[in-house]
């Protein structure tokens, strides 16, 4: 089988989701796949092959022989099919539906709120010499609580989000929470969401998460 090539910066939440999936499939960076990092915010640094594979200029992109895939949901499901063990998708229709529901919530609500509106303002902006927009953070905090409340209601915790086996939903949420938990809003929120809190304590030392650390953790 041809070696997988993953394009995108290691600090990207979505690149890390794919790397976590690869780790859970026991695929090792530089041995089984290649990570080609670059600054996604600097178009001049985009590799030529990335530009041809990603019409929207978003990361990650996975190249596998002649096949190029963009969109994280498509990449992770592809990897789960070509490397079937361990499976990262439940067999129960109801659990599979819940998994897909959580992934959709992460994409549409958790990522823009917890990462862009809170983490970026609290952590990334000051590191780059920009002032934190506290008004935006305050507004986002109430949005974050609504988002976490929705996730809290969906979790069927028995070691992981849905039962005793890790799923793609866990892979999506773990890197989001690594960054969110660096912020005061993240640290203060978990006491109100016991299911999420127990889940986070169970997964935060998972090898696939630790082995894909970036500059922020």
> What is the total residue count of the chain?
217
Q: In the prediction, which pLDDT does 17 show?
A: 98
* Local structure of residue 160 (DSSP, 8 states): B
3-state class (DSSP) for residue 157: strand
pTM for this entry = 0.96
- Structure-token pair, residue 215: 């500059």
Q: Which residues of 88-122 are buried (b: 16+ CB within 10 A; e: fewer)?
A: bbbeeeebbebbbebbebbeebbbebbbebbbbbb
Domains of the chain: 4-82 (3.40.30.10), 93-210 (1.20.1050.10)
What percent of the chain has pLDDT above 70?
A: 100
Per-residue pLDDT of 34-54, as tens digits, reads 999 998 888 888 999 998 999
Q: Report phi then psi at 95, rounded to 5.
A: -65, -40
pLDDT of residue 2: 84
The token pair at 22 is 């690869």
The mean pLDDT value of the chain amounts to 95
Residue 1 pLDDT exceeds 80: no
Q: Check pLDDT > 80 for residue 128.
A: yes
Q: Give CA separation, 114 vs 2, 15, 143, 176, 191, in Å.
A: 36, 17, 9, 7, 17
- Segment holding 79, helix H or strand E: helix 72-82
pLDDT in tens, 54-112: 999 999 999 999 999 999 999 999 999 999 999 999 999 999 999 999 999 999 999 99
pLDDT at 158: 85
**Residue 117 pLDDT grade (very low, low, confident, very high; cuts 50, 70, 90):** very high
* Top-confidence residue, 163 or 58: 58
Report pLDDT for 156: 82
Pairing of strands 4-7, 33-36: parallel
């Amino acid at each position: 089988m041809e070696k997988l090539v993953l394009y995108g910066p290691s600090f990207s939440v979505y690149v890390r989701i794919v790397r976590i999936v690869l780790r859970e499939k026991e695929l090792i960076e530089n041995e089984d796949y290649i990570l080609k990092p670059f600054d996604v915010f600097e178009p001049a640094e985009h590799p030529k092959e990335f530009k041809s594979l990603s019409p929207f200029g978003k990361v990650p992109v996975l190249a596998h022989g002649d096949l190029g895939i963009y969109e994280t949901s498509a990449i992770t499901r592809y990897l789960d099919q070509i490397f079937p063990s361990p499976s990262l998708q439940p067999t129960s229709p109801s659990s599979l539906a819940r998994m897909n529901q959580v992934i959709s919530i992460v994409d549409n609500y958790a990522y823009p709120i917890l990462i862009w509106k809170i983490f970026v303002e609290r952590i990334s902006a000051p590191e780059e010499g920009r002032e934190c927009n506290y008004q935006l953070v305050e507004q986002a905090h109430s949005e974050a609580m609504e988002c976490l409340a929705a996730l809290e209601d969906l979790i069927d915790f028995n070691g992981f989000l849905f039962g005793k086996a890790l799923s793609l939903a866990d892979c999506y949420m773990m890197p989001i929470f690594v960054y969110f938990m660096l912020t005061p809003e993240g640290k203060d929120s978990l006491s109100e969401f016991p299911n999420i809190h127990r889940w986070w304590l169970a997964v935060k030392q998972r090898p696939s998460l630790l082995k894909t650390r970036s500059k922020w953790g």
